Amino acid sequence: MEFTAQQIAEALQGTVEGDATTTVSTLSKIEEGAPGSLSFLANPAYEKYIYETHASIVIVNNDFKPEKKVSATLIRVNDAYMAFAQLLELYQQSKPQKTGISPKAHIAQTAKVGSNVYIGEFVVIGEHSEIGDNCKIYPNTTIGDKVTIGNETTLFAGVKVYEDCVIGNECTLHAGVVIGSDGFGFAPQQDADFKKVPQIGNVVLEDRVEIGANTVIDRATMGSTIIKRGVKLDNLIQIAHNVVIGENTVIAAQTGIAGSTKIGKNCMFGGQVGIIGHLTIADEVKIAAQSGIGKSITEKGAIVEGSPAFNARDFQKSYIYYRKLDSLVKRINNLEHQLKNKM
């Protein structure tokens, strides 16, 4: 299906610069743009490609000022990245949607399933569980007893949701996610053995939460592990028992958060961050990738880096000297040697 630059501009509330009748039928990255494709430029680091791309239409920010001639038709918008994301969402919605319940699925007689759902092959839904309207549950997913899932939520293949957990509206759980596995609770015994502490709580995902593939969120020992509204978690993340993650916080892959830590809202964590248990992280905190957090961060909006982590700007200044440690040691040894010879 083809769209003109003018049609796209109207959909994005943008303005056309160039031939408004130019048509496109596919999407592309700007560095790989081909005739008939639509691309975008949001990151200044990619500006060089706009002068050589073969994409027919490129979405740019209103403040973009080309330094050379651009052959593509431009569509100017307030935020090129968000505009392109909007187009991707429209494209996704235009694809055929799965509906219906596979006869190979097993749904307990006491379970309640909403309208217009898709439930794939070998899905198991336990006793007294409730599935909302317009949900999609892909093959080989297991939903335990007394689980509640809201409307318009998608569980991709192989998701496991343990008993008593609650998942809100418009959530997305990618393949292999585990919700509600036991928290890591063991009491040491006199014979050096460990006795398992029963984990009787649950996990609560509020609305519009997205969980990346193979991420695990443990159930609380008592009470709930809570992932609040709008949180986005990447792949391969471990969230331990009784953790609370505040609204609209985003966390990148391979991060681990130990038990009972409370994360504020609107935080941003890079990949492979490690946070020990029973800490408090304030709102709007940013933690650089591979940082280790060993104490609470109480300053709203703090930016930290390193292991143990401290102020990111101080870390970057210090790193200049870390890289020179070997030469600095040699210089000190040389100076000490010279001083000894003079004595």
Is the distance from CB of 141 to CB of 158 less than 8 angstroms?
yes
Which pLDDT belongs to residue 111?
A: 98
Which pLDDT belongs to residue 97?
A: 83
| All structural domains of the chain with their residue ranges | 3-94, 100-316
Which pLDDT belongs to residue 79?
A: 96
List the CATH code of the domain at 3-94: 3.40.1390.10
Residue 245 has which token pair?
């993650």
Cis peptide before 308 (omega within 30 of 0): yes
Which pLDDT belongs to residue 322?
A: 72
The pTM of the full predicted model, rounded to 2 decimals, is: 0.85
**Per-block average pLDDT, block size 10, for the chain (343 residues)?**
92 95 94 95 94 96 94 96 90 83 98 98 98 98 98 98 98 98 90 91 98 98 97 98 98 98 98 97 97 96 89 80 80 84 75
Is the distance from CB of 232 to CB of 210 less than 8 angstroms?
yes
- By the 10 Å C-beta count (0-12 exposed, 13-18 middle, 19+ buried), 49 is classed as middle
Which is the catalytic residue, given 128, 241, 278, 337? 241
d(CA 318, CA 316): 5
Other beta carbons less than 10 A from residue 230's beta carbon: 18
Residue 191 has which token pair?
């014979």
DSSP 178-203: EEEEPP--EEE-TTS-EEEPP---EE
278 is catalytic: no
CATH level 2 (architecture), domain 100-316: 3 Solenoid (2.160)
Sign of dihedral through CA atoms 134, 119, 228, 127?
positive
Q: How many residues are given for the chain? A: 343
